[in-house]
């Protein structure tokens, strides 16, 4: 398989973790290039459930190299915890299979506090963040006052850099009425984490270029989803990184000329956590999925908002990411339905709208125009091949592809690794 970028084509939680785990079998290296531990990627192997936050989902496949790229924001305490959790589940992690960029920026406890207090300060206009400090950490990076993983490995430099942040951070937290930071304890804890991570920290850009020169193939694991992209999403109800395909290049230091294909992960319906417009949101489908025990956030446990498949939004995701193939997950979530709706257009003030408006207020005023297609009313969870799927399920998938203009490559019919149907073998064929 050539160098592939996998992106979320909706609002995150599209089942990227499962798709990545599946595709990892066919590549040599898996790279995370943006986001932080706001991500929660679920992979179920046998009866064991793994949750990946910062570590690429490829880590579950022995012999594969995983890389946390320069574009990721790393909470080193949380990363050490994640390594510990995975190790306790029997996953081997060492510098042999995990490398972390020395240019990745650090997330600090004060970023989490600022994240939380900013949300409180805006009250009803809150974003509904994961409170992991992601926005403030990226904010510091862009404002050029961030501290990087490479700094953490040189204690004196780290202390100096942190000292330079104290005055502003203390002042800001005081304005919020937050508890002051215990800088001495923070420094101690971070240096301990740095010591633990040290052997894995390196110049990952050079590592990746060396691997490409050897002919190794890379899979870029997107986090979040297209409509959470800082530039192309429903701003300000977005995360603080470029979640679209271009983010893989800047966040890993791999040029666009080395990307061969883009795969978009999407659910057979739509979900969103947090605030912001969501034209196809539907109480009926939310209730049905929650009653099935599905669609609860991995990180925060929040109920995900659920709705019908939105072909208008997803068509835009296909364009902005350059998606060649799609992996449709959670098809089985629609198994019980008599009829299924697909949004094919929006209406705003009586006029048709064929692409999501850039302005979030205008987007919020869009109402969906649906077509209805017949459901299949039988379980798809045991299907092994595309032909095993009920006819109406195949017609549904084909309609979705036609509406969004992309080719179908994988279909998910359950949480487990083996509940994955390959539709275009060339996508996953061994190189």
In the region spanning residues 393 to 412, those forming contacts with ligand GDP, defined by CB under 6 A, are 412
Q: Which listed option, Mg ion, ligand IMO, ligand GDP, none, makes contact with residue 44 (CB within 5 to 8 Å by class)? A: ligand GDP
Q: Say how many Å lie between the first and final Cα of the chain, rounded.
A: 5
Backbone angles phi, psi at 193, to 5 degrees: -65, -40
Tokens of 330: 């959670």
Residue with tokens 């207090």: 117
**Given 140, 282, 332, 335, the residue binding ligand GDP (CB under 6 A):** 332
Tokens of 71: 């574009």
Q: Which listed option, Mg ion, ligand GDP, ligand IMO, none, makes contact with residue 132 (CB within 5 to 8 Å by class)? A: ligand IMO
Q: How far is the CB of 40 from Mg ion (least distance, A)?
A: 4
Residue 41 designated active-site: yes
Q: Residue 39 or 353: which CB sits closer to ligand IMO?
A: 39
Q: Which of 41, 105, 111, 232 is catalytic?
A: 41
Q: How far is the CB of 273 from ligand GDP (least distance, A)?
A: 9
With residue 5 as reference, give the H or E element that holds it.
Answer: strand 4-8
**Given 36, 69, 150, 414, the residue binding ligand GDP (CB under 6 A):** 414
Residues that bind ligand IMO (CB under 6 A): 8, 12-13, 38-41, 127-130, 132, 134-135, 223-225, 228, 239-240, 273-274
Strands 309-310 and 325-329 come out as: unpaired
Q: Which of 152, 120, 113, 151 is nearest to 135 (CA)?
A: 113
The DSSP code sequence of 340-394 is: EEEEEEEEETTEEE-S--SSHHHHHT-EEEEEEEE---S--TT--SGGGS-HHHH
3-state secondary structure of 199: helix
Which alpha helices (H) appear in 255-368, and where do they start and end?
A: 283-291, 311-321, 360-364
Does the protein bind ligand GDP through residue 18 (CB under 6 A)? Answer: yes
Does the protein bind ligand GDP through residue 34 (CB under 6 A)? Answer: no
Q: How far is the CB of 138 from ligand GDP (least distance, A)?
A: 19
Q: Residue 44 or 172: which CB sits closer to ligand GDP?
A: 44
Residue 13 designated active-site: yes
Residues of this chain that bind ligand GDP (CB under 6 A): 8, 12-18, 40-42, 44, 298, 329-330, 332, 412-415
Active site residues: 13, 41
């Amino acid at each position: 398989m050539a160098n592939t970028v996998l992106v979320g084509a909706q609002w995150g939680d599209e089942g990227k973790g499962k798709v990545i785990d599946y595709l990892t079998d066919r590549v040599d290296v898996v790279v995370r290039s943006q986001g932080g531990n706001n991500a929660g990627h679920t992979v179920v192997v046998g009866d064991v459930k793994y949750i990946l936050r910062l570590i690429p989902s490829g880590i579950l496949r022995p012999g594969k190299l995983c890389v946390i790229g320069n574009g990721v924001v790393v909470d080193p305490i949380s990363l050490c915890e994640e390594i510990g959790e995975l190790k306790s589940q029997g996953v081997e992690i060492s510098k042999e299979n995990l490398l972390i960029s020395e240019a990745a920026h650090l997330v600090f406890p004060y970023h989490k506090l600022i994240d939380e207090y900013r949300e409180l300060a805006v009250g009803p206009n809150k974003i509904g963040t994961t409170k992991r400090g992601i926005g403030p950490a990226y904010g510091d990076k862009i404002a050029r006052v961030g501290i990087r993983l490479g700094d953490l490995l040189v204690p004196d430099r780290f202390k100096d850099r942190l000292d330079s942040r104290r005055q502003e951070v203390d002042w800001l937290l005081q304005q919020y009425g937050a508890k002051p930071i215990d800088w001495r304890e923070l420094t101690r804890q971070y240096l301990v984490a740095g010591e633990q991570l040290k052997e894995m920290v390196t110049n990952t850009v050079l590592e990746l270029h060396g691997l490409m020169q050897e002919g190794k193939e890379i899979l870029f694991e997107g986090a979040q989803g297209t409509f959470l992209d800082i530039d192309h999403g429903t701003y300000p109800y977005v995360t603080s990184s470029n979640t679209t395909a271009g983010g893989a290049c800047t966040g890993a230091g791999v040029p666009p000329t080395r990307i061969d294909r883009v795969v978009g992960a999407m659910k057979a319906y739509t979900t969103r956590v947090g605030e912001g417009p969501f034209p196809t949101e539907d109480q009926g489908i939310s209730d049905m999925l929650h009653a099935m025990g599905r669609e609860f956030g991995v990180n925060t446990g929040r109920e995900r908002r659920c709705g019908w498949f939105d072909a208008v939004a997803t068509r835009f995701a296909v364009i902005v990411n350059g998606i060649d193939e799609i992996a449709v997950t959670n098809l089985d979530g629609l198994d019980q339905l008599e009829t299924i709706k697909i949004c094919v257009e929006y209406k705003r003030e009586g006029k048709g709208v064929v692409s999501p408006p850039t302005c979030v207020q205008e987007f919020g005023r869009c109402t969906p125009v649906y077509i209805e297609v017949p459901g299949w009313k039988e379980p798809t969870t045991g299907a092994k091949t595309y032909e095993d799927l009920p006819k109406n399920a195949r017609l549904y998938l084909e309609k979705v592809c036609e509406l969004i203009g992309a080719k179908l490559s994988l279909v998910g019919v359950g949480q487990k690794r083996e509940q994955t149907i390959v539709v275009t073998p060339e996508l996953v064929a061994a190189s």
